Amino acid sequence: MAVNRTHTVIESPIGPLTLVATANGLCGLYMAEHRHKPNESTFGESSPANFGAVREQLDEYFSGERTEFSLPLDPSGTEFQQRVWDALRTIPYGQTWSYMDLAQTLGNPLAIRAVAAANGKNPISIIVPCHRVVGSDGSLTGFAGGLDRKRFLLEQESGGVSDVLF
């Protein structure tokens, strides 16, 4: 059975963001050039009507006024992916974890590659903060929206100023 979805595109400091929702909540947040973005034909009709709270909370986040999101989410993924995405939401604003930290939080320190793969398939970037996961040496590694956007988000959360323009 097909899930009824709607979508809209909003502007942000990191470029246009495509928001996708079901009746149960936000199911996608995709950046320009986003790796692993589903075919746009699956996004449903364009309708900004159901995205007021998402837009407001993202505006507050980008202006430095919001450190946590309180939105109904409806990501589609395997049970393991859902567990990884839930764990991502526990990483505090302004902090980073390694993939090992994330795997240990899930109780399986040997699952680093599986955790990394699930992290990369996160359909709700920013709100489910996959950008807060870095390499074990602190290096910036893969991000579906690109490393410049990841750097921007991490610098914003740490109080730094980024000169990246999108």
Catalytic residues: 130
CA dist 92 and 95 (Å) reads 6
Residue 73 backbone phi and psi in degrees, to 5: -115, 150
Please give the angle made by the CA atoms of 164, 165 and 166, to the nearest 5 degrees: 120
Burial class from Cβ neighbours inside 10 Å (0-12, 13-18, 19+) for residue 40 reads exposed
| In the block, residue with structure tokens 């709100």 | 127
CA dist 140 and 41 (Å) reads 32
Closest CA to 69 of 16, 124, 120, 15: 124
Residue 118 burial (CB count, 10 A): 23
Show the tokens assigned to 153.
């988000």
Residue 50 backbone phi and psi in degrees, to 5: -95, 15
